[in-house]
Structure 1
Amino acid sequence: MKDFEQVYSDYYDMVFRYVVSLCGDEQWAEEITQEAFFKALKHIGSFRGECKLSVWLCQIAKNTFYTMAKRRQRQVEIVPELPAEEEPLEQKLLDKETALQIHTKLHKLEEPYREVFWMRTFGELSFREIAALFGKTESWAQVTYHRARLKIKEGIV
């Protein structure tokens, strides 16, 4: 089977377009697609080849979409007064108390997440530059940064 980074670069656009057709929101579709590829990476050993790899990836993306949609619905029902657009994590760094929470979580973050997040947010490096430093692909840098952001956001409101 192809190296997973190759799978990611070969199928990302197709899966992303499929997810956009499901949810109609490119920003949310990007988050869903990233999560779907993360799940696919974790479970690549369970791919038996009974269908095309693209079908398997789209199925994971569809299930991820439904799971995230249910989660979003529950959040809306539980806390309806929250604004639809959440303040970006980088903006929260301006608030001193939140910045301390973020830096504490960042300090506890395992590698390479910590370093990739640091390079992107504070070093203002492009994904291409980060990938070159690690000897990886640009896709790897994007996924790693996204994962780091999600790990840091856990527990920060």
Structure 2
Amino acid sequence: MTKQEFEKIYQDNFSVVYRYLLKICQDQHLAEELTSVTFFKAINNIDKFEGKCTITSWLCQIAKYSYYSYLRKNKRLVELNSIIEQMDTNSDMEEQLIDSMTSKEIHKVVDGLEEPYKKVFHLRIFQELSFKQIASIFGKTENWACVTYHRARNKVRERMEEKK
């Protein structure tokens, strides 16, 4: 890959990766640092990109794992109450789950989703992408993105109820 090709990938995807990380970590400086780490890892591993997903999805996955690596190194847990709040929850049971579950347990539930539910959920919640944008990333229809997100959200709810 030429320098110009990677610069185009960087320009096209920087804001998406940064917003994704900012939403996850809620820290502007950390999001900036991890965005740099993400693109550094991407340029060093571009030969491993198989094209099974979009370059944006691949970069977001690198970003996510870079963040998890940061958390492990710093032994911090992330508060993910915002994820639950954005799931349009309002029942007492779900509010109790927000209060009682640790962020590590919530991470496990979300990361335990099958593909494409996990990616669609992350794109919708963490990156705040529209269904149209998600559909574009996957090369699917907007309706597909909406249905897939709602199924993912329901799976998260079900698994959280099971843990309770």
User: Normalising by the residue count of structure 2, what TM-score does the alignment of the two structures yield?
Assistant: 0.43
User: Normalising by the residue count of structure 1, what TM-score does the alignment of the two structures yield?
Assistant: 0.45
